[in-house]
Structure 1
Amino acid sequence: MSNTIHTVTAEPKLWTKSFMIMTMSNFLLSLNLLMITPSLPAYVADTYQAGSLTVSLVVSLFALSAIVTRLFAGRSFERFKPMTFLWIGLAIYSLSTGAYGIVPSLLLFMGVRIIYGIGFGMTSTAVGTLVTRVIPPLRMGEGMGFFGLANSLAMALGPIVGLWLLGQFGYQTLIVTAFILVIIVFPLLLNLKSSEPVGSPKPTKSGSSGPWMDRKALLPCLLNWLMTITYGGILTFITMFGKEAGIGNVGMFFLFNALAILVVRIFSGKLYDRFGHLAIVPAGCVLFGTGLLLLSWSHSTSMLIMAACVYGLGYGALQPALQAWTVQRVAVERRAAATGAFYNSVDLGVAVGSLLLGAVATMTNYAMMYRISALSAICMLLVYGGYLWKTRRVSAVNSDESVSA
């Protein structure tokens, strides 16, 4: 009789050694990127006497090379040993980080920028895929929420720390610090070898030669792309909007946006795991759309902070849920390709948002640009509603056929 007391199924453990190592590695890799990126435009302009178009090209080369790399990374991930693939990407990422401080010409600097994007494309795909293998399937939403929180913290701290190092100690100190952050990841990953995956089963090699984009991953990636278009408009134009609206410290938007993301990810992942994407997507769309409207009407710091919090709640709940949904919709052996596609949807969304919303702002103003960008939330709801309608219609047809049979 006493033995039967222990038959209650315990909740699978999320905070394993492997999960903590992958999350910390993700934070350090993202912090490296977000410390360097805001400092590059001014450095390139001053050091190489580059114009605005050249500076834009230097900045864009990273995103382009990372996107192209991920198209191949998903297919190559399983052909190599996954950890070998990660080691190669990490070596490229660390060496190119160090090279930022020693290249003597603008042309070589552009080359380093491309190699840096290749390294980041490989490491982000590998880390993002490997973490899905150490998260228990029943806690995928919660796990991806905390894993993605590392990106959010890096997004909040990286620009502040990077610009402070640049201003106080100079460019070389910034690069050395960023290089050290990547080096720390190497011993962390050595510890990973002794920690066995606790989540999904390891994939077979049979799926590694499939198409670059799994159709099952298309829907959540499309929804994420629509959402990150709006973030591209915020990243690129919020400083100009602040001048237009007479708001001084627009950097407060990013701080409170990060705080809201931190709060919402504590419980949104559990909601996803218990009730599915239906509990997250509609509410998240309403929140981030409302945040954009509040931002467009902001004429004070307090209004800006309110907009940042509402936007952050929506964005912070949606993105990890969409990433978890992406990897859950595909076969285990296709997760690397799905992860790469998801990260590409982020980069493409930011790039398209910068270009498209910049054209809108040119024709109107920045406030109207943010109101128009809120239409992205409506587009997401329409696409998601269409998916639900189609799914229920197919289920009804299948149910009728089973009854008639």
Structure 2
Amino acid sequence: MKTYGPNFWKLSFAMLLFTTSYNSVIPEMNAFLTDLGAPHLKGLIIGLFTISAGLSRPFSGKLSDIIGRKKVMLIGLAVCFVVCGLYSFAFASWFLLSLRFLHGFSAGFFPTGSTALITDILPEDKRGFGMGLWGTFIAIGMGTGQGLSSLIVEIGNRDALFFTAALFTALAYLLYFNVNETLEKTQPFKWSYLRIQKDEILEPHVIPVAIIMFLSSMCSGIILVLSPDISEFLNIGNKGAFFIFYVLATILVRLFTGKVSDTYGRRQTLVVGMILLCISMILIGMSESSTWYYVSSIVFGIATGVCSPTIFAWTADLSPPDRKGRGTGTMFIALEFGILSGSLMTNWWYQNTLESIWHVFLFGAAMAFLSVVYLIWHIKTVPSKH
């Protein structure tokens, strides 16, 4: 516990609360949009969120390397708090989708700044294990938010859900306030910092891990869009039940696999994780009962438990010391646009029927398999100490 220091633990719990906040509203968004008369736009619930998050990453990555990690994180917290409070006033589909777009900026800033700060803290020889811990808090937040969503709505209503999401963000701020800045030389903000040059959009050193993140996060985009509807098709009352089983599984493997990647290599560990991801997508697409759906969520949880901390650690390995924020931002850009691509492909193929779900998940399995092919090629052609 003392290895990483109080900064690590305070920020980890802040990330858990922040992740709980923005994930808690997701299971109800499909139904909310349907009530507003636009069920055909379900794919945009995730798509617009990820577009704004992806667009903001070059700015948040650059700013975190200049004005400091904490100031970038504060922007994300403020946006999240305001938008969660405004969801209750969404009276039309265009208003709700506009709020989803604005909400994405919070995910573009807070995780970028916090992950860069975490990278500053972790010793290189324990980076995989540390990222496993960090990822565990993110996974718990994701599962807690998704799992609590339907329960809060049943006890209260959607307004209660949005108020609770805002409350989680406020609690995250209390922890964030006590975190120490790790960037040694911070500079005052200047508007000129918002002018992004070509070499500031992506960090070239982390392109290999960005490719893997992009391909694998397509699967996450598919699941985020379809899991609430699959729950309805299978008569599962809690729309976030999939993520409860997912979290239980991913927590059990994250700490172990993070240490494995420190020993056996990031890429070798990712090959195993991506094979499991491919299998999980096939299982979810074939699920015709709640039992198989829960089994597939466990396999998906194991897969992400293997992949997520390894991807974060590999990003830290490849990022130059003076461009850690940009390196983290590049990885998150790949995450956002992978989720966006997965959600848009879902919107293209999904016909609001259980039968059409199989084709979407088969595409996801193909993307996971493609990442395995790329990793094997990379291992054979590019030497690496990690």
* TM-score normalized with structure 1 length: 0.80
Conserved 8 A contact 1:203-1:333:
no
Counterpart residue identity of residue 160, structure 1? G
- Whole-angstrom distance in 1 between the partners of 2:242 and 2:283: 12
- Whole-angstrom distance in 2 between the partners of 1:14 and 1:160: 31
What SS class does the counterpart of residue 305 from structure 2 fall into? helix
CA deviation map 1:243-274 (0-9, x unaligned): 88xx5438654332222111110201111112
Q: Select 1:220's aligned residue among 206, 209, 228.
A: 209
* Correspondence for 1:91: 78
What SS class does the counterpart of residue 280 from structure 1 fall into? helix
1:315 aligns to 2:304 (yes or no): yes
Range with greater deviation from structure 2 (296-305 or 229-238): 296-305
* Correspondence for 1:150: 137
Range with greater deviation from structure 2 (329-338 or 260-269): 329-338
- Whole-angstrom distance in 2 between the partners of 1:44 and 1:300: 26
Conserved 8 A contact 2:249-2:298:
yes
Range with greater deviation from structure 2 (163-172 or 22-31): 163-172
* Correspondence for 2:224: 235
CA-CA distance at 1:202 after TM superposition: 5.0
Conserved 8 A contact 2:46-2:225:
no
1:332 aligns to 2:321 (yes or no): yes
1:82 aligns to 2:73 (yes or no): no
Q: Select 2:294's aligned residue among 305, 316, 320.
A: 305
Conserved 8 A contact 1:19-1:131:
yes
* Correspondence for 1:34: 23
- Whole-angstrom distance in 1 between the partners of 2:228 and 2:86: 31
- Whole-angstrom distance in 2 between the partners of 1:240 and 1:169: 21
* Correspondence for 1:169: 156
Conserved 8 A contact 2:214-2:335:
yes
CA-CA distance at 1:220 after TM superposition: 0.8
- Whole-angstrom distance in 2 between the partners of 1:102 and 1:352: 29
CA deviation map 1:103-135 (0-9, x unaligned): 677666555444332233111211121111122
CA deviation map 1:322-368 (0-9, x unaligned): 12101210112222122222222222222212333554566984335
Which runs of 5 or more structure 1 residues have no equivalent in the other structure?
1-11, 396-405
- Whole-angstrom distance in 2 between the partners of 1:370 and 1:106: 27
Counterpart residue identity of residue 255, structure 1? I
Range with greater deviation from structure 2 (372-381 or 100-109): 100-109
* Correspondence for 1:398: none
Q: Trace 1:4-403 onto structure 2 (pairs within 5 A).
A: 13-46=2-35, 49-53=36-40, 57=44, 60-102=47-89, 110-193=97-180, 210-238=199-227, 247-249=234-236, 252-357=241-346, 359=348, 365-392=356-383
| Percent of pairs with identical residues | 21
Conserved 8 A contact 1:240-1:366:
no
What SS class does the counterpart of residue 224 from structure 2 fall into? helix
- Whole-angstrom distance in 2 between the partners of 1:134 and 1:284: 26
CA-CA distance at 1:31 after TM superposition: 0.7
CA-CA distance at 1:288 after TM superposition: 1.9
Larger radius of gyration: 1
Distance 1:288 1:73, change over 3 A: same
Distance 1:53 1:130, change over 3 A: same
Conserved 8 A contact 1:357-1:373:
no
- Whole-angstrom distance in 1 between the partners of 2:368 and 2:99: 37
Counterpart residue identity of residue 310, structure 2? A
Counterpart residue identity of residue 286, structure 1? I
Counterpart residue identity of residue 358, structure 2? A
Range with greater deviation from structure 2 (248-257 or 142-151): 248-257
Higher RCO (C-alpha 8 Å, min separation 6): 2
CA-CA distance at 1:241 after TM superposition: 5.7
- Whole-angstrom distance in 2 between the partners of 1:300 and 1:93: 36
Distance 1:388 1:149, change over 3 A: same
- Whole-angstrom distance in 2 between the partners of 1:292 and 1:21: 34
- Whole-angstrom distance in 1 between the partners of 2:175 and 2:249: 29
Range with greater deviation from structure 2 (233-242 or 320-329): 233-242
- Whole-angstrom distance in 2 between the partners of 1:119 and 1:306: 32
Range with greater deviation from structure 2 (370-379 or 327-336): 370-379
Distance 1:371 1:189, change over 3 A: closer
- Whole-angstrom distance in 2 between the partners of 1:202 and 1:157: 35
Distance 1:256 1:186, change over 3 A: closer
CA-CA distance at 1:303 after TM superposition: 3.3
* TM-score normalized with structure 2 length: 0.84
CA-CA distance at 1:57 after TM superposition: 4.5
Counterpart residue identity of residue 299, structure 2? V
CA-CA distance at 1:74 after TM superposition: 1.2
- Whole-angstrom distance in 2 between the partners of 1:355 and 1:316: 25
Distance 1:230 1:167, change over 3 A: same
Conserved 8 A contact 2:271-2:376:
no
Distance 1:329 1:226, change over 3 A: same
Conserved 8 A contact 2:43-2:347:
no
